[in-house]
């Protein structure tokens, strides 16, 4: 009788281990993060962006993700990648290349912990990339943690260059994590203004690049194991940003793909630094104690 009881208990434990949901293995094998600098959430309902809106329909999204303050580029790209705000990572200005405040914690490369290094520590052989147009990105991503990083040539002369670089890299390397950071619509916002015909024309152009990147993932044979995130560092108002209006602070966060619910708009509060935490959750990574971001667990199956 005792032997039967022990056998039964072990069998029940085995079944529980198999059936209890666990994120140890992660939600997907690949993540492609597409960032559109200066993309304000206010623009989404009016924008002609069918591919991006299809990702919204197929997955989950919010139009109320808030930027860290000030609502400027370096501080918010840093927060997106570093899982914390400027009070902790120390990047406080539009063009910060090094922290103006001492970073609360430094990793082995002498920079505040990023999602790229977290993944590198967990998967030493992972292919991790970052492609970008704005030179300021390279100071915020911990390049020593990356397998590949490269700035695209001047988009005024070569508007499709970054997209083409992303397509080639995806097909050749099938990266575990790739960040593709476009410098528009921010540039148009500064020149012609936010919420202008020129701004919406640029969004339509960027939508085509998103479609091409998705197709490259499909061509690489990894679509079924990939999660796409499309988001922004900040929005804008008139010809600037950095202030405290909702048009400057509210940005879209769209997530779609492997193990993402088709649940549409979610109501939970989201901050810029929650992006890094959500990516960490996708890969089953334990985030550093210094991070304050929260993963958007509710969007996953």
DSSP the chain: -HHHHHHHHHHHHHHHHHHS---TT-S-SEEEEEEETT--GGGGGG---HHHHHHHHHSEEEEEEEPPSS--HHHHHHHHHHSS-HHHH---STT-SS-SS--S---TTSS---HHHHHHHH-TT--EEEEESSGGGGGTS-GGG-SEEEEPPPTTT-TTHHHHHHHHHHHHH--SEEEEEE-TTHHHHHHT-TTSHHHHHHHHHHHHHHHHHHHHHHHTT-GGGEEEEEE-S---BTTB--SSSHHHHEEEEEEEETTB---EE--S--BTTHHHHHHHHHTTPPPPTT------GGGB-
Examine residue 2 and state whether it is found in any structural domain, yes or no.
no
Examine residue 23 and state whether it is found in any structural domain, yes or no.
no
> Quick one: pLDDT at residue 187?
87
Task: Tell me the C-alpha distance between 162 and 151, whole Å.
Answer: 8
Examine residue 61 and state whether it is found in any structural domain, yes or no.
yes
Examine residue 267 and state whether it is found in any structural domain, yes or no.
yes
> Quick one: pLDDT at residue 240?
83
Examine residue 174 and state whether it is found in any structural domain, yes or no.
yes
> Quick one: pLDDT at residue 19?
37
What is the domain-level CATH number for residue 265? 3.40.720.10
Could you report the per-residue pLDDT of 164-204, keeping only the tens digit for each?
Answer: 999 999 999 999 999 999 999 998 989 999 999 999 999 99
| Burial of residue 84 (number of CB atoms within 10 Å: 0-12, 13-18, 19+) | buried
Residue 88 belongs to domain spanning: 31-299
In this predicted structure, the answer to whether residue 8 has a pLDDT above a threshold of 50 is: no
Examine residue 8 and state whether it is found in any structural domain, yes or no.
no
In this predicted structure, the answer to whether residue 71 has a pLDDT above a threshold of 90 is: yes
Lowest mean pLDDT among 9-23, 196-210, 271-285: 9-23
Number of domain units in the chain:
1
What is the chain's mean pLDDT, rounded?
93
Average pLDDT over every residue of 216-242 = 96
With a pLDDT cut of 70, the percent of the chain lying above it is: 92
Could you report the per-residue pLDDT of 200-228, keeping only the tens digit for each?
Answer: 999 999 999 999 999 999 999 999 999 99
pTM: 0.91
Examine residue 15 and state whether it is found in any structural domain, yes or no.
no
In this predicted structure, the answer to whether residue 257 has a pLDDT above a threshold of 90 is: yes
Examine residue 10 and state whether it is found in any structural domain, yes or no.
no
Average pLDDT over every residue of 231-240 = 94
């Amino acid at each position: 009788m005792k032997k039967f009881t022990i056998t039964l208990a072990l069998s029940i434990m085995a079944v529980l281990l198999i059936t209890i949901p666990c994120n140890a293995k992660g939600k997907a094998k690949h993540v492609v993060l597409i960032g559109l600098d200066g993309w304000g959430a206010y623009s989404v309902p009016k924008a002609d962006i069918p591919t991006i809106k299809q990702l919204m329909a197929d997955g989950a999204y919010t139009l109320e993700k808030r930027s860290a303050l000030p609502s400027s580029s370096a501080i918010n790209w840093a927060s997106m990648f570093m899982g914390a705000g400027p009070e902790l990572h120390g990047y406080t200005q539009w063009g910060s290349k090094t922290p103006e405040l001492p970073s609360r914690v430094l990793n082995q490369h002498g920079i505040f912990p990023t999602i790229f290094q977290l993944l590198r520590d967990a998967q030493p052989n992972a292919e991790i990339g970052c492609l970008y147009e704005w030179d300021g990105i390279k100071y915020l991503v911990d390049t020593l943690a990356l397998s590949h990083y490269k700035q695209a040539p001047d988009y005024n002369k070569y508007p499709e260059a970054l997209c083409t670089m992303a397509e080639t890299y995806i097909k050749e390397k099938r990266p575990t994590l790739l960040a593709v950071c476009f410098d528009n619509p921010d540039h148009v916002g500064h020149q012609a203004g936010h919420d202008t015909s020129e701004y919406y024309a640029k969004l339509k152009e960027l939508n085509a690049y998103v479609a091409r990147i998705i197709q490259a993932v499909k061509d690489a044979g990894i679509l079924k194991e990939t999660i796409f995130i499309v988001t922004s560092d900040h929005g804008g108002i008139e010809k600037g940003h950095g202030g405290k209006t909702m048009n400057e602070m509210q940005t879209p966060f769209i997530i779609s793909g492997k193990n993402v619910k088709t649940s549409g708009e979610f109501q939970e509060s989201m901050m810029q630094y929650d992006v890094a935490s959500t990516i960490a959750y996708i890969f089953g990574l334990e985030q550093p104690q210094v991070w304050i971001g929260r993963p958007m667990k509710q969007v996953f199956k």
